[in-house]
Amino acid sequence: MLATVYALYSLKLGASPWQIGASWGLYNLVAGVGVIIVGRWIDGEGRNRLFIVSGYFLTIVGVALFLRATRPSQLYFIQCVNALGVALYMPAWKALYTRSEDRKRLASQWGLFDGSNMIAMAGAAVLAGYLVNINKYTLMFTVIIVLYGLSTIYSLQLKGKS
């Protein structure tokens, strides 16, 4: 949801195009390196639910920080917090999903997984644009926090290795 309007929000704070690109790049770098490291760690630990819940919680904190941001320089820290949250929950979710796959239908199941994510992102993009248009970011960030909160609660119900 945030990716759709991140540049607009950053401009509102006074960020230059370079700062917007650099902060988004930093997010992807930290998330990418973090996913690799956490993925290797999870393979040894097997505590998927702990990583998922911790990652969602950290992402809630990161999104809440957007509500308090007043300067472009704060975006770098906020993006790192969000990236670390993603790094914690993403490999754990994929590990759980992989364990539940029907080995005879791998392509269709991964197609469902990725296709569902893309459809959800399409709806989130439209919703984010609408919410920002009517309420100037506060409502959008609040909706994101609520959705991550609901995801955290759902994650606590996961079965299997915790």
> Amino acid identity, residue 109?
Q
pLDDT 10s digits, 50-81: 899 999 999 999 999 999 999 999 999 999 99
Rounded-to-integer distance, Cα 97 and Cα 114, Å: 12
What are the CA-CA distances from residue 48 to residues 52, 60, 110 (Å)? 6, 18, 19
- Determine the average pLDDT of the residues in 29-43: 94
- How many CA atoms within 13 Å lie on the side-chain side of 88? 19
Q: What confidence category does residue 160 fall into, taking pLDDT thresholds of 50, 70 and 90? A: low
Distance from first CA to last CA of the chain, Å, rounded? 28
- This prediction has a pTM of 0.87
Confidence at 45, pLDDT banded by 50, 70, 90 = low
Report all structural domains of the chain as residue ranges with CATH numbers, in order of start.
2-8+15-156 (1.20.1250.20)
pLDDT at 146 over 90: yes
pLDDT tens-digit readout, 75-88: 999 999 999 999 99
In a 13 Å sphere around the CA of 79, the CA atoms on its Cβ side amount to 25
